[in-house]
Amino acid sequence: MHTSLPDFDMPNEEQVHLAAETFRLLADPTRVKVLWALLQGESSVACLAELAGAAPTAVSQHLAKLRLAGLVKGRREGTFVYYSAADDHVRRLLRQALFHADHIDRNLSEAPTA
């Protein structure tokens, strides 16, 4: 049925795998807090730990996973590493997830479709 639609297009297996991995990494409240903080600007592990209410060692482990997934990047300055969101895709993804969560929390729905 779907294949008869003129513009129907399924993502390839690699895209599906990478998207699922991104969602898996975002399925942790501390990581969501850390990413949200990084969307406000560059930050150190100590500052992120305070903002997220987590231990610096835990935040470091979260950042390592987020960095490997390409969601954050680090910049070394002397003995310190400052982290930031990798790109604007991360900003849009997290904003949409939080927007969706807000709608669920408030039991809101989108405008009715015609």
pLDDT > 70: percent of the chain: 91
Q: At 3, is the pLDDT very low, low, confident or very high (cuts 50, 70, 90)?
A: low
Average pLDDT over residues 26-34: 95
Per-residue pLDDT tens digits for 77-103? 999 999 999 999 999 999 999 998 888
User: Cβ neighbours of residue 22 under 8 Å, at least 6 residues apart?
Assistant: 69, 71, 93
The model carries a pTM of 0.81
Specify whether the CB–CB gap between 91 and 39 falls below 8 A. Answer: yes
Specify whether the CB–CB gap between 34 and 66 falls below 8 A. Answer: yes
Residue 114 has pLDDT above 50, yes or no: no
The H-or-E segment that residue 19 falls in is: helix 13-25
Topology annotation, domain 22-105: Arc Repressor Mutant, subunit A (1.10.10)
Domains of the chain, residue spans: 22-105
